[in-house]
A and B are shown apart, each in its own frame.
Chain A
């Protein structure tokens, strides 16, 4: 029993959702129509509408909040700050932590870190590390903390975390080779579906998460699981790359907008300061 939190009952379960008798599986809405239009109106190769805002966490050096409709992720970056590791290192260290909020998934998640979160944290590190200029930050550490507030697709959570972390690193002014945009895809009945929701993922045979640096045309990280043919994988990578480029331009626009706002604010204050001499 966790003695540092208010204890609840020893075990609790979600109630079984019972559908009325006259609804059977045939009446459950299909994932897509004949014309390949998904439930939310997208075609198979479109990502969900994204909403991205940097700088929302004022306490952090850099931060970002991203929403891909149902998937909501917040990221904060602290650093570069002095490292706690006593051994000298010519390169900085990047420490990533992903946490699901207890209310983010269908079943309540324990506030304690579980193996899935540890794995995702490591994947986030693998996706970001090639892009960050750690060699410019000896004896320092950069901490990246991600909280997933709402989960609508495990692949999209990881992709959103990578994207948000990249924007937050830029917001913190940490030098990078390029922004890392990430996108997820699923393989359902020999077709490639980009950016799947939780419901669509349940029917997938395989999945892929791709992290891509658009200007440099380089992939920093790729995670593929399940059953996809080799040609299928190559096609999925191509489609994900296109989707990542779209996300990349959204990231770029948001960062520019945020810098513009900061400069405007500084200019107004700068004008006042000049008057006072």
Chain B
């Protein structure tokens, strides 16, 4: 996998018949299946008077959802809450369930892409399309995009981003490891 290209993508949608929208997103060996139901009824305690409530659930490929999946769900929720036009459907709930089928590196970016496609399939009104991408900096200082799990293991730092398709603003960014400001800037071509 070269520095500037992502793995081959495969997207399919409207796979699930009992939900309002669904999409399956795979890049290389990572696959995520996401479903969206809503606007639908909401529990009184979660009801918001002026907006829809966005509820995100992330399920891992193996085992039971733990703190890691809660963290991923939090990221998805806070990212999409800014993009979905929640005030169009007050006192309802939009539920997103993302099932990780296989995790081969930078799963958050694939989750974001799958969620975007599923929301589009469900016809949920959004300000823009959210695109996620992961990258890393290796021990020789080289930047590569869309890493696999093995590459992430050996990386000095990993960087995941989500961009707004209209304004190219950074909606979500998570960089961990040990890195410098210059690496982040060149990684995002100065968008961040």
Contacts and interface: CB of A to CB of B under 8 A. Distances in A.
Q: Do chains A and B touch in the complex (CB under 8 A)?
A: yes
Interface of A: 3-7
Contacts of B70: 4
Interface in B50-99: 64-67, 70
B68 to A, nearest CB: 9
Interface residues of B, number: 5
B69 to A, nearest CB: 9
Given A3-B67, A4-B67, A7-B66, 5 more contacts: A3-B64, A3-B65, A4-B66, A5-B67, A6-B67
Q: Chain A interface mostly helix, strand, loop or mixed?
A: loop
A4 B70 CA distance: 9
B108 to A, nearest CB: 19
Nearest to B66: A3
8 contacts: A3-B66, A3-B67, A4-B66, A4-B67, A4-B70, A5-B67, A6-B67, A7-B66
Contacts of A5: 67
Closest 4 CB pairs of A and B: A3-B66, A3-B64, A6-B67, A4-B67
Contacts of B67: 3-6
Contacts of A7: 66
B59 to A, nearest CB: 12
Nearest to B70: A4
A224 B66 CA distance: 43
B76 to A, nearest CB: 18
Contacts of A6: 67
A5 B68 CA distance: 10
Nearest to A5: B67
A7 B64 CA distance: 13
A111 to B, nearest CB: 13
A6 B65 CA distance: 12
B135 to A, nearest CB: 26
A5 B64 CA distance: 13
B62 to A, nearest CB: 13
A229 to B, nearest CB: 54
Contacts of B66: 3-4, 7
Nearest to B65: A3
A38 to B, nearest CB: 46
A3 B67 CA distance: 7
Interface in B32-66: 64-66
A5 B65 CA distance: 11
B42 to A, nearest CB: 20
A243 B67 CA distance: 48
A3 B64 CA distance: 8
A7 B63 CA distance: 14
A247 to B, nearest CB: 42
A3 B69 CA distance: 10
Interface string B16-39: 000000000000000000000000
A7 B66 CA distance: 9
B101 to A, nearest CB: 20
Contacts of A3: 64-67
Nearest to B69: A3
